[in-house]
Structure 1
Amino acid sequence: MFVRPQRRTVDGVTFDVASAAYDRFMGRYSAPLATEFAGWAGVRRGDRVLDVGCGPGALTGVLVERAGAAHVVAVDPSAPFVDACRSRFPLVEVHRVPAEQLPFADGIFDHALAQLVVHFMQDPVTGLAEMARVTRRHGQVAACVWDLAGDRSPLSPFWSAARRLDPRVVDESERAGAREGHLAELALEAGLLEVEAAELSVTVAHPDFEEWWEPYTFGVGPAGDHVAALDPAGREELREECRLCFPDGPFEVTAVAWAVRGRT
């Protein structure tokens, strides 16, 4: 059982939920993705690194392992996430601010990374430009977003089921960076140079359908908001429609994220 604090939103989406709820909902995918992402970005020991939109700290933890806690700074606009990240990584400097208003001097980081954040920024180009501003000359800015438009995200079975029940459902496929090539377009618009794109893939094992479904009832993000807005009968109908996407017993979900990196 999770106790939810007062709900605030990022770009109209609920993220001020208990960090444990987010971990159960998206952390099971974002944790393995963080390892892939930090490795692809080339973060090394001693690099000064900024984690933008850190959430409870999935990527922060990987950056601490690779660069050292004293070299990692994290930011997020959600108070519960900031509190969780500070608690988990007490040697990391964590600020409660949005990506578009980074409280740092120009050029002080070697890397600025944003995992699963660009599509929730109020202004993605400004957010990426701010990341570039605080990164040193020839330093690197990197970001990744699930392939929400290509139905290859962890959320794709959920949104597919929701659309089958109601074609008017507004999913996350139109969000910034969620379609092929768009993240690179945003990076170029933000002024990044030598922009490179890639796909990062993770596979997560689920013991059964109930373990997969329960986190959708915690009120996290657009999917959680959608479930919360349904009446009990509607939630049960959606639950059973989602069940049709998976076999009985254990199964795996493979998810793909678009990734981009560029120099300042």
Structure 2
Amino acid sequence: MVRTITIPTAAVSDAMAAHTIGFARLEVRDHIEDAIGAGSGTLVSIGKVHGILTAAHVLTNLPDQGEVGIIEYRGQTLHFRKRTIEMANAAKIVLRGDAYGPDGPDLAFLRLAADTIGWFKALGSFYNLLKHRSDASGSPPSPAFTDAVVGMIDERTKDLPAERPRERRKGFEALFSNGTVSNERIVDGYDLFDFAPTDYPDFTLPGDYGGTSGGAVWRIYLKVDGEKPDIAGVRLWGMPYYQMKKEGGGHVLTCHGTGGIYGALVEPIVAKWPEEAVDE
């Protein structure tokens, strides 16, 4: 027997929003600074090392020095604050194939400078990869679950009314959409899977998923043994980095799986900062 349960999207997406950020390149257009969406990321920690999990092609397209904008999706009162990081003070770890494509690898980590970690913690929270690295192989908190993708959607970026002369305001939108994991496979030692967002008649999916690269696929475990369904736990399950159109419409997102996130990426981080990247 198949049982359908309903949980308000806000109750689930708020938990993901605490870890989600977007990147923005800062440019000058018509003598006014502009912010251009440049991919998504997830706040993560490995011991005392705090940073952003993202796609390699997202990180390599950001400058090595100069300011990069940070887009936040949690809360309503912070929308028009300008948040930036200085890339010269950050450190990059990149795992990337010779060519950009569905076979990857396309994983990266941006270590944040110590003086920025405090305000990042005020914006959201860092997902502890060392604490949760056994989640994929351990006992799940519930047998019932759903998977959802979170990431910025470039086509929904819009200019907003300015309140002062020589000011430009931009609105950035992130997608939270449940969907189906399929075609799990190993390519050159990396575990990959496809994710297809669910198309609902009362919700319009994006025509293009540009901007979602570097975001996250979350596995949301559901507590369904009572009359009122609830969330039993959430786990970082993947990272989207490539999109393909499906026959008949819609898209499939190619994602790195838990082996790449908790293994292949964590290993060089621990090797680079061995005294800090230890479980606390």
TM-score normalised to structure 1 length = 0.29
More helix by share: 1
What TM-score results when the alignment is normalised by the length of structure 2? 0.27
More strand per residue: 2
